[in-house]
Structure 1
């Protein structure tokens, strides 16, 4: 079976929607080691986002692509795709990311998380019709997302400045390096040149993810760029600290509480 891995969102606005699509309200708990996420508590926006002028231009570019291309396609997908089939496609691609979760759990010496990832992949593949049905969650094996960016953060590498990347959306030098490593090390990256079916599968994955996020657009508030930046940085800190909620050192006092758990 080929493996397909894609970043949770292709465009900047999608990241914020993905982060909060079905979570619980964050608590204001100080992480045991806030530097592990590459953040300095209380740091001004100019310090964590020194390239804001450039980042905003890239954000507008991504947003334009989304408004004119991806979102209309995703809307059409939602209109023609039966609900059970839509859930099956989502489950299928989520199941394949368990291989990434397993590998990075090993890199982080998280034995329990590695066992959970292996168990989820096995249950969903064998009993869930190749991953189209998420039976692992019913067996009380919830997903524990891990990527190489988190692995680098786990071992103490700071994130560096916030970056908005064309098409890929919010990132940082550490997270982009982790993303590239996941793509290069895992077989899916090498499969890209072997069959045109890979492109079709990736396109379906992106459209399915975007379609799933449309109902969550109501979470966007205030200045969209600032919302996306704060959401991304807080989410990464949350993941690297293994689900321990943290203060959002980047949001203004007027921002609403953000929700950080996986959907």
Structure 2
């Protein structure tokens, strides 16, 4: 249903644009249509390259990554899968802690530290999410949000090989975050944690490339990611106001 609505809206915008040229639509009407187009669009100067990377990711997913993930899900008991997910979720608390400190968010840093400490000690290295069972909040920060906190703009929309949608600012943030929380605190080599983390993350995502049956999937994914990141940034700003 969402795909049909998106397609209908896209075609409506396109048709109205042609209609404006032929019938002399008023400046106010043209402005409203332009605002609607911008709402669904994004700053994507590298769209040609992004589309090629998007298609590469589709092939990588279909012929390699998804079969690996499906094999992992088939041979790994659900109980073990949950333990793996909890472990990697726990390491994210380290990144949230570091970024909260970088933004001078003391309370949020303490919450991240509290979650990590409890899950590491009582949850057997993070295999069990004891903190959530105790009702502790789950704060989130990343280096992209830290840069946003200090006024760094997102930059161009960017499709990363294998990793997917991002922005130039946030792509740099991913590199920093991966160095903050990389499993070294548990003395586990990255040759094990990196591929297992990728498999775990993919196993928790139901999205499959070109599974929307929409000719505008690229635009649809770009729009959804833009809104997703906007919500994170707005929530992040609200947390600033609240001093969390």
Considering the TM-score relative to the shorter chain, is it more than 0.5? yes
C-alpha distance in 2 between matches for 1:124 and 1:197: 21
RMSD over aligned Cα atoms: 2.8
Is it true that 1:106 corresponds to 2:101 in the alignment?
yes
Instruction: Please point out which of 100, 103, 118 is paired with 2:113.
Output: 118
Deviation at 1:41, TM superposition (A): 9.3
Task: Find the counterpart in structure 1 of residue 225 from structure 2.
Answer: 232
C-alpha distance in 1 between matches for 2:57 and 2:137: 32
Task: Find the counterpart in structure 2 of residue 86 from structure 1.
Answer: 81
C-alpha distance in 1 between matches for 2:78 and 2:42: 44
Instruction: Please point out which of 186, 201, 223 is paired with 2:193.
Output: 201
Decide which structure has the larger Cα Rg and report it: 2
Task: Find the counterpart in structure 2 of residue 257 from structure 1.
Answer: none
SS class of match (2:159): strand
Is it true that 1:77 corresponds to 2:88 in the alignment?
no
Closer/same/farther in 2, CA of residues 98 and 77 from structure 1, 3 Å limit: same
TM-score (normalizing by structure 2): 0.73
Q: Which one has the bigger helix percentage? A: 2
Closer/same/farther in 2, CA of residues 50 and 95 from structure 1, 3 Å limit: same
Note the 1:142-181 alignment, pairs <5 A. 142-181=137-176
Cα displacement string for residues 206-245 of structure 1 (whole angstroms, at most 9, x for unaligned residues): 112212224x659x63333222211221111111222689
Closer/same/farther in 2, CA of residues 118 and 139 from structure 1, 3 Å limit: same
C-alpha distance in 1 between matches for 2:117 and 2:146: 23
Instruction: Please point out which of 173, 192, 205 is paired with 1:213.
Output: 205
C-alpha distance in 1 between matches for 2:200 and 2:42: 35
C-alpha distance in 1 between matches for 2:151 and 2:88: 30
Deviation at 1:182, TM superposition (A): 2.5
Instruction: Please point out which of 178, 182, 185 is paired with 1:183.
Output: 178
Deviation at 1:119, TM superposition (A): 0.8
Deviation at 1:187, TM superposition (A): 6.8
Higher relative contact order (CA 8 A, sep 6+): 1
Cα displacement string for residues 119-160 of structure 1 (whole angstroms, at most 9, x for unaligned residues): 110110111111001111122223222111010011111101
C-alpha distance in 2 between matches for 1:131 and 1:58: 35
C-alpha distance in 2 between matches for 1:181 and 1:206: 17
TM-score (normalizing by structure 1): 0.68
Alpha carbons 1:49, 1:162 under 8 Å: kept: yes
Number of equivalent positions: 200
